[in-house]
Structure 1
Amino acid sequence: MTTHTALIVDDEPDIRELLEITLVRMGIATRSAPDLTTARELLEAEPAHLCLTDMNLPDGNGIDLVSWIQEHRPETPVAVITAYGNMDTAIEALKAGAFDFVSKPVELTRLRELVSSALRLSEPEHQESQQTDDPGLLLGKSEEIRRLRSQTRKLARSQAPVFISGESGSGKELVARMIHLQGPRSGAPFVAVNCGAIPSELMESEFFGHRKGSFTGATENKEGLFRSADGGTLFLDEVADLPLAMQVKLLRAIQEKAVRPVGESREIPVDIRILSATHKNLPELVKEGSFRQDLFYRINVIELSVPPLRERIEDIPILASHILERIAREYDCPPARLSPGALAYLKGYGFPGNVRELENILERAFTLCDSEVIDTDDLHIGTAPVDLPAERGGQDANTGTAVPDGEMNLEDFLENIERQAIEKALEATRWNKTAAAKRLGISFRALRYRLKKLGME
């Protein structure tokens, strides 16, 4: 078994000794240096699995060492030790390429978590994954998607907060998942939350948890999203939709690496990496005053831009083939493929909804097309989805279902009509699905799709 080695760089002998004792107890061999020059000499002579450096050194600072390691020993993760509360310095170090940071006075529990996380980057399976161009979740062969895959691999080696920008439907959550899966936290939870989907009055409880009885309706303890992601990654999608009051509390939780559940008197430490995204122009919202500048500064340590689908049209054939294969598997149907004309049409389309719109177009075409080949006419781009007739007052002419005059759940009502129509067609054809589909005026695939969607298989 290979022993991990760490280089400790600090001009204070007491600090070096404390760090050495902690790491040796973790089974890690240590070397130490009192200054920048010595640290460079030691790293040139022999690489280390990890470097811990103080910010203030007699002949330079920790960021100088971070930059040098990035150039000469990029495989070595380096963490900086900053003065308490000096977030500006910590963010500067992360931007320079530091793996993570820890503040003085050093909390040994936090230090051990950081060291364990950094050393996972040296594991053989992680090294292999970093040296291949396995597309993973980011499919495509365009230069834009290759560059994005390369950036996610590099960012996976860091614990720096990443802000992912891009249009709706472009795949921002997939990018976040790839950063998580390729990093040292891959074995821990990846928790994604749409900030715009949580009612403002429930946000604090959803994020930080609550104690039983802390408010009306709190019938049991709840751990919240931060603690659910402990040890892993928390992805804040549509972070621009957070109200200002919640932005303040979120900033404190990120900076203190701790949360206080509603009704709790003490803070609970959490170890998470924050990734965030929005399709909105966050710098513009900061200027308008609807998004806090200090929070923006904290989550936007590194920005990663996801290209829209129209800028990587050569990826459309690969994406389309993958989507159609997935749909066929999900609905247990024979696979379908695009005709050359349909593929050419898709390549010329602007895709304002990006990859998500491509998925919707292909799923609709797959369910409505009788043939194994989807042609241009089957795509129905720019048209409303083909579905059952809209409801009318009184009784529906086909089903005899009465439409209530008062309030109702429209989705449940239409689903009930659809269920009744399918049941009648199946009964009339003695459960011959091909004949039932013809009787309903839909394709066999469309019937299979609806049976699975309605749980009628």
Structure 2
Amino acid sequence: MTLERMDIIVHTAADMDAAKKQLACNEYDLCFTDMKLPDGDGLNLIKHIQLHYPNTPVAMITAHGNMEAAIAALKTGAYDFVSKPVDLQMLRNLVTTALKLKHGETSQVERRSRDTLLGESEQMRKIRNKIVKLARSQAPVYISGASGSGKELVARLIHDKGPRADTPFVPVNCGAVPQELMESEFFGHKKGSFTGANTDKAGLFQAADGGTLFLDEVADLPLHMQVKLLRAIQEKSIRPVGAQTEVPVDVRILSATHKNLSQLVEAGEFRQDLFYRINVIELRVPGLQERKDDIPQLADHFLTKIAQQAGLEKPRLSNEAREALLNYSFPGNVRELENILERAFTLCEDDTINKEDLQLPADTHNHNHDIPMDDQPLDSFLGDQEKEAIQKALEQSKYNKTAAAKLLGISFRQLRYRLKKLGID
């Protein structure tokens, strides 16, 4: 009745045999199936549709609280699930989003992902292909990989290529939110609910309503927030701090961390039920060490970007510098490559980046202790080093920028770019 009021033509089937006959005779934009059918179960129907009608999304109707069935459906390939008793507004939202897949409303953002997620290695081609498939689902995706490997970029692509592309993508670094403010940040609060709550405030879930919430460094969530997050994901509703009732939210959850969540679960530092819930599908992003063939293309991309931002000529990478990059182990991955090239851009002369300009550690395989990856982000660490060198040069030249540039061995324009980039007044 609800779907017909949305001007949608609906066919019904009493059992799996009837459903297969209907599928063979008609083309469908969406299929709803119950978990238990008179002659089988919904999971088998999902598999059948996945095999014979891969462009038809399937939503599973599950018993209230039966998350095991919902997760099994998502792992099998279901687009999404609906719990009984069915919330009609959530049903409408699900259908509206699912129909965008069939009607091509996401075509405006269907730019080739190889232009965004760079690299022609076999690993990157597989990831781009998987992103297209994951974008067609609403299943939670857990993106694993080392720091700086591009996990947020992958999450943005999954969002941009799916039916939620024209809705908000809200990233949050779970480790950067103070514990005492965490519940309010995620779920919002009502005026007067605590000291300083002078107005109602919407949380991150509400900001992402209709879109995607990306939980970066999800391993950093304290245990008490893991419980609340699990409930919000399972119930598809939140309760703002100080509120008496829950508010329904329509949010797709993507999460990531550079830590080993399985080990944290075993150590009792991360809830197994939450891990089970967010890790419906895992997508591992390889480190740069595993796809070294992509380094020349990435280096060219970053040098073009840096030169455009500075308004200067793009420097050439010497053969020795290129070889040095290919032999370097990159503990900070793609983010570290960009920082190294940005520093080299500042230091190079005659529009050529030489090996010395890269300032790579001599020991390329055992230098992780030289860079405080756990205590300070790499880009912040390198930025502090550059800032210190520039400030020393300015002090020595009595704040004559032309003289300071000569001391640093860079042009005045390059110094001006670095001052602006690092926020040095």
Output the TM-score relative to the length of structure 2. Answer: 0.89
- Would you say the 8 A contact 1:136–1:178 is kept in 2? no
1:448 corresponds to which of 403, 409, 416: 416
**Structure 1 CA distance, aligned partners of 2:237 and 2:142?**
21
Q: What secondary structure does 1:274 align onto?
A: strand
Q: 2:347 aligns with which of 361, 365, 368?
A: 368
Deviation at 1:438, TM superposition (A): 2.5
Return the offset for 1:335.
Answer: 1.3
Residue 268 of structure 1 aligns with which residue? Answer: 247
Conserved in 2, the CA contact under 8 Å of 1:367 and 1:445? no
Q: 1:113 to 1:316 in 2, by over 3 A?
A: same
Task: Give the letter for the 1:142 counterpart.
Answer: S
Query: 1:210 corresponds to which residue?
Result: 189
Q: Is the 8 A contact 1:51 1:78 kept in 2?
A: yes
1:419·1:454 contact (CA, 8 Å) conserved in 2?
Answer: no
Asked if the contact 1:367–1:446 (Cα under 8 Å) also holds between the matched residues in 2, the reply is yes
- 1:282 and 2:261 correspond: yes
Select the residue among 62, 65, 69 that pairs with 1:85. 65
Residue 128 and residue 185 in structure 1: after superposition, are their counterparts in 2 closer, same or farther (change >3 A)? closer
| Pair 180,419 (structure 1): closer, same or farther in 2 beyond 3 Å | farther
Aligned length: 405
1:425 aligns with 400
Asked if the contact 1:317/1:343 (under 8 Å) is kept, the reply is: yes
Deviations 1:2-24 (A, max 9, x none): xxxxxxxxxxxxxxxxxxx2112
| Identical pairs, percent | 61
Q: Distance in 1 between matches of 2:115 and 2:96?
A: 25
Corresponding residue for residue 407 of structure 1: none
* Partners of 1:251 and 1:150 in 2: CA distance: 29
Q: Which amino acid aligns with 2:6?
A: M
> Which residue number corresponds to residue 44 of structure 2?
64
1:248 aligned partner: 227
- 2:277 is the counterpart of 1:298: yes
Cα distance in 1 for partners of 2:58, 2:2 equals: 17
Q: In structure 1, which of residues 147, 151, 168 is the aligned counterpart of residue 126 of structure 2?
A: 147
- 1:406 is aligned to none
Q: Which residue of 1 aligns with 2:375?
A: none
| Inter-partner Cα distance in structure 1 for 2:233 and 2:247 | 12
| Structure 2 residue 406 is the aligned partner of structure 1 residue 438 | yes
Match of 1:51 among 11, 20, 31: 31
Contact 1:368 1:445 in 2 (8 A): no
Q: Residue 43 of structure 1: CA displacement? A: 1.1
Change beyond 3 A, Cα 1:377–1:440: closer
Cross-structure match for 1:25: 5
2:54 pairs, out of 74, 90, 94, with 74
- C-alpha distance in 2, partners of 1:422/1:39? 81
Q: Report the alpha carbon displacement of residue 47 of structure 1 after superposing the two structures with TM.
A: 1.9
> Deviation string for 1:63-99 (max 9, x for gaps)?
1111111111000001011111111100000000000
Cα distance 1:328–1:52, how it changes in 2: closer, same or farther (>3 A)?
Answer: same
CA contact (8 A) 2:143 2:285 kept: yes
Amino acid at match of 1:43: L
Q: Where does 1:34-433 land on structure 2 (aligned, <5 Å)?
A: 34-124=14-104, 126=106, 134-382=113-361, 387=386, 424-426=399-401
Deviations 1:321-355 (A, max 9, x none): 11111111222222123112211211111111110
Secondary structure of 1:188's match?
coil
2:113/2:157 contact within 8 Å kept: no
Shift in CA distance, 219/34, structure 1 to aligned 2, threshold 3 Å: same
The Cα RMSD (Å) is 2.3
1:400 is aligned to: none
C-alpha deviation, 1:424, in angstroms: 3.8
What SS does structure 2 have at the residue aligned with 1:138? coil
Task: Using the TM superposition, give the Cα deviation of residue 308 of structure 1 relative to its aligned residue in structure 2, in angstroms.
Answer: 0.8
- Residue type of the partner of 1:25? R
The answer to whether the 8 A contact 2:32-2:59 is kept is yes
- Measured after TM superposition, the shift of residue 423 of structure 1 is 8.7
Secondary structure, counterpart of 1:30 in structure 2:
coil
1:356-400 Cα distance to aligned partner (Å, 9 max, x none): 11011011101111221211111001289664667xxxxxxxxxx
Amino acid at match of 2:69: T
The answer to whether the 8 Å contact 1:331/1:452 transfers is: no
Structure 2 counterpart of 1:41, one-letter code:
K
- Tell me if structure 2 keeps the 8 A contact 1:370–1:444: no
Preserved contact between residue 425 and residue 440 of structure 1 (Cα < 8 Å)? no
Give the AA of the match of 1:159: Q
Q: Distance in 2 between matches of 1:127 and 1:73?
A: 21
8 Å Cα contact 2:347/2:409 also seen in 1: no
Which residue does 1:396 correspond to in 2? none
In structure 2, the CA distance between the partners of 1:455 and 1:163, relative to structure 1 (3 Å rule), is closer
Q: What SS class does the counterpart of residue 32 from structure 1 fall into?
A: coil
Contact kept in structure 1, 2:310 and 2:414, CA below 8 Å:
no
> Is the deviation greater in 213-222 or in 306-315?
213-222
Change (3 A) 1:78 1:421: farther
SS of the counterpart of 1:160?
A: coil
Counterpart Cα distance in 1 of 2:423 and 2:112 = 39
- 1:201 CA drift (Å): 0.9
AA aligned opposite 2:204: L
CA radius of gyration, larger in: 1
SS at match of 1:52: strand
Residue 389 to residue 235, structure 1, CA distance change in 2 (3 Å): closer
